[in-house]
Structure 1
Amino acid sequence: MRSSQSKIDPLSEVLTTFTLQRVVSARFEAAEPFALRMPAYDHVKIGAAIDGAFDLQIVGSSEVVRIEQGDCYLLTDGRAYRTSSVSADPLDDIDAAGLFAANKGADGVVRWGSGLAMTIVIGARFVFDTIGLEWLRSSVPNLIHIAAHMPAAAPIRATLALLAAEAVDAGPGQGLISERLSDVLLVQALRAHLQSGGTTVGWLSGLSDPRIARALENFHSTPGEAWSVDRLAKAGGMSRSAFSERFLARVGMTPMAYVSAWRMQRIRHALATSDRAFADIAAQNGFLSRTAASRAFRRQFGTAPRDARR
Structure 2
Amino acid sequence: MALLLTKIFMTMAQHPLDHLRIDSMLTDPLADTLSAFTVVGTELVRFESSVPFETRFDADERFTFGVVITGSHNIWLDGETAPVRPTAGDCFLLTGARAGRAFNVEGGREIYCSDYSGGSGGVMRVGTGSMNDVVVAGRLTLDKEGAAWLREALPPVIRLAAEAAAAKPTGSIIELLRSESEADAPGRRLITSRLADVLLVQTIRTHLADNPEATNWLAALTDRQLGRAIQKFHADPAADWTVASLAKAAGMSRSSFAERFRRRVGLSPLDYVTRWRMHKVRRELLATSLPFATVAYRNGYASRTSCSHAFKQVFGYSPSELRAEQKLTLSQADGARPPLSEPSDDSFSL
SS at match of 2:148: helix
| Alpha-carbon separation, structure 2, partners of 1:7 and 1:272 | 27
| Alpha-carbon separation, structure 2, partners of 1:284 and 1:263 | 10
| Alpha-carbon separation, structure 2, partners of 1:33 and 1:93 | 6
Letter in 2 for 1:70: G
Confirm or deny: 8 A CA contact 2:67 2:90 kept in the other structure. yes
Confirm or deny: 8 A CA contact 1:39 1:97 kept in the other structure. no
Q: Does 1:235 align with 2:249?
A: yes
- The match for 1:89 is 106
Q: How does 1:237-252 map to 2 (within 5 A)?
A: 237-252=251-266
- The match for 2:301 is 287
Q: 1:212 aligns with which of 222, 226, 230?
A: 226
Structure 2 unaligned spans of 5+? 1-24, 327-350
Letter in 2 for 1:308: L
Letter in 2 for 1:209: D
- The match for 2:139 is 125
SS at match of 2:218: helix
| Alpha-carbon separation, structure 2, partners of 1:104 and 1:305 | 39
| Alpha-carbon separation, structure 1, partners of 2:168 and 2:78 | 30
Confirm or deny: 8 A CA contact 1:29 1:111 kept in the other structure. yes
- The match for 2:36 is 17
| Alpha-carbon separation, structure 2, partners of 1:154 and 1:56 | 23
Q: 1:37 aligns with which of 53, 56, 68?
A: 56
Q: 1:136 aligns with which of 150, 168, 184?
A: 150
Instruction: State the 1:201 CA deviation.
Output: 2.4
Count of equivalent residues? 299
- The match for 2:172 is 158
Q: How does 1:40-79 map to 2 (within 5 A)?
A: 40-79=59-98
Q: 2:208 aligns with which of 194, 212, 219?
A: 194
Runs of 4+ in 1 over 6 A off after TM superposition: none
Confirm or deny: 8 A CA contact 2:65 2:92 kept in the other structure. yes
* TM superposition score normalised by structure 1: 0.90
Letter in 2 for 1:58: L
- The match for 1:176 is 190
| Alpha-carbon separation, structure 1, partners of 2:184 and 2:145 | 35
Confirm or deny: 8 A CA contact 1:103 1:112 kept in the other structure. no
Identity across the alignment (%):
39
Q: CA separation of 1:271/1:119 partners in 2, compared to 1, >3 Å: closer, same or farther?
A: same
- The match for 2:285 is 271
Mean alpha-carbon deviation: is it higher for 23-32 or for 178-187?
Answer: 23-32
Q: How does 1:299-310 map to 2 (within 5 A)?
A: 299-309=313-323, 310=326
Q: CA separation of 1:165/1:171 partners in 2, compared to 1, >3 Å: closer, same or farther?
A: same
Instruction: State the 1:117 CA deviation.
Output: 7.1
Q: 1:298 aligns with which of 312, 328, 331?
A: 312
Instruction: State the 1:103 CA deviation.
Output: 4.7
| Alpha-carbon separation, structure 2, partners of 1:154 and 1:161 | 12
| Alpha-carbon separation, structure 1, partners of 2:50 and 2:174 | 21
| Alpha-carbon separation, structure 2, partners of 1:62 and 1:198 | 25
Instruction: State the 1:199 CA deviation.
Output: 7.0
Instruction: State the 1:169 CA deviation.
Output: 0.8
| Alpha-carbon separation, structure 1, partners of 2:233 and 2:51 | 51
SS at match of 2:290: coil
Instruction: State the 1:156 CA deviation.
Output: 2.2
Q: 1:222 aligns with which of 225, 236, 239?
A: 236
Q: CA separation of 1:78/1:115 partners in 2, compared to 1, >3 Å: closer, same or farther?
A: farther
Instruction: State the 1:34 CA deviation.
Output: 2.4
| Alpha-carbon separation, structure 2, partners of 1:49 and 1:8 | 26
Confirm or deny: 8 A CA contact 1:32 1:115 kept in the other structure. no
TM-align CA RMSD: 2.2
Q: Deviations over 1:165-189 (max 9, x none)?
A: 1111111111111111121111111
- The match for 1:110 is 124
Letter in 2 for 1:144: I
Q: 2:275 aligns with which of 261, 266, 289?
A: 261
Mean alpha-carbon deviation: is it higher for 288-297 or for 125-134?
Answer: 288-297
* TM superposition score normalised by structure 2: 0.80
| Alpha-carbon separation, structure 1, partners of 2:218 and 2:243 | 19
Q: CA separation of 1:172/1:150 partners in 2, compared to 1, >3 Å: closer, same or farther?
A: same
